[in-house]
Amino acid sequence: MLEDQDMSLQEAAAVVHEARARARRELVISAPLVYTAWGLVLLIGYGAMWLSVRGQHPYRGPSGVSIAAVFVLAGFAVAAVLVIASRAVAGIDGQSVRHRRIIIATWAIGYLILLSVQAAISGSATTRTYAFVAFAGPLLLAGLIYILASALGRNRPAFALGAWLVIVSASCAGQAPATILAACALAGGGAFLLIAVIEARLGAHDS
C-alpha cells in the first residue's frame, strides 16, 4: 500500500466503510449469533420438554430424551459462543476483558447456587416449586446476568432482554410445570430470537 497517497473523498468514504465493516466482523462478538443460539436452545429444548409433560396425569416430569436434547443443545450453544467469542476477542485486552470475566464468574456462581437449591429442595418441595426452580431458575439467572452485562457494556437491547427474562421467569412462580416450560420456551426463546433480529438490524443500520 502507498504510504501517504492522496485520496478522493469517495475513496476516503469507501475506506471508512470497508475498515469499519471488517473491524466489526472481526473484532466484535456477533450478538445476533449468540442470541440465536440460546433462543434455539430454549425454543427447541424447553419446547420438547413442554411437549413431553403436556397432558401428563399425574405429573412425572419431562422425558429423558427431551432432557438430553436440552443438554446437547446447550452444549452446542456453549461451544458455538466460545468459538465466536474467542475468535473475536483474540488480541484484545482491557476493560471489556475484565467485564467478561466478571460476567462468566457471576454466571458460574449463580448456576452452582441454583443447582444447590435444586438439590436441597428435591425431596421436600411441591412439584410446582421444584419445577419453578429447575426450569425457570436458569432463565431468571440469565435475565439477571444480561442486566449486569448491559450495565457494564451500556447495551440497551441486552437490558431489555434481561428485564423481559426476569419478568417471564418471575411470573412462572406457582404455575404448573407445563405452563412454566411453555412460558420459558415461547416467551423466553422467542425473546432471544427477537433480540437477535433487532441486533442484526441495528448492526446493518450502523455500518
Partner 1 sequence: MTAENGLDPVIHAPARLRVVVTLATLRDGDNLSFTRLQELLGLTPGNLITHLRKLEDAGYVTTVKSGSGVTSRTSVSLSEQGRQALDTYTAVLRQLLDSVSVNGTSPH
Q: How far apart are CA 53 and CA 123, in angstroms?
A: 20
Nearest distance, CB of residue 4 and partner 1, angstroms: 5
Question: Residue 192 class from Cβ within 10 Å (0-12 exposed, 13-18 middle, 19+ buried)?
Answer: buried
C-beta of residue 36 within 8 angstroms of C-beta of residue 193: yes
Interaction of residue 24 with partner 1, rule CB under 8 A: yes
For partner 1, the binding residue among 57, 58, 64, 90 (CB under 8 A) is: 90
Q: How far is CA 183 from CA 5, 139, 164, in A?
A: 59, 10, 12
Interaction of residue 101 with partner 1, rule CB under 8 A: no
Q: How far is CA 118 from CA 46, 53, 68, 73, 193, in A?
A: 18, 19, 18, 21, 28
For partner 1, the binding residue among 65, 83, 97, 102 (CB under 8 A) is: 97
Nearer to partner 1, 100 or 128 (CB): 100
Dig out the grid coordinates for 68 from the structure.
438430553
C-beta of residue 38 within 8 angstroms of C-beta of residue 184: no
Identify which range of 14-22, 104-112, 162-170, 190-198 contacts partner 1 by CB under 8 A. 14-22
For partner 1, the binding residue among 55, 64, 94, 123 (CB under 8 A) is: 94
Sign of dihedral through CA atoms 125, 70, 187, 148? positive
Query: Which of 161, 136, 137 shows the shortest CA–CA distance to 32?
Result: 161
Interaction of residue 102 with partner 1, rule CB under 8 A: no
For residue 120, the one-letter residue type is A
Nearest distance, CB of residue 70 and partner 1, angstroms: 33
Interaction of residue 68 with partner 1, rule CB under 8 A: no
Nearer to partner 1, 22 or 54 (CB): 22
Interaction of residue 82 with partner 1, rule CB under 8 A: no
Interaction of residue 91 with partner 1, rule CB under 8 A: yes
Nearer to partner 1, 11 or 116 (CB): 11
Chain centroid, CA 140 distance in Å: 11
Instruction: Report how many residues bind partner 1 under the rule CB under 8 A.
Output: 32
Positions touching partner 1 (CB under 8 A) are 1-13, 15-16, 19-20, 22-24, 26-28, 90-97, 153
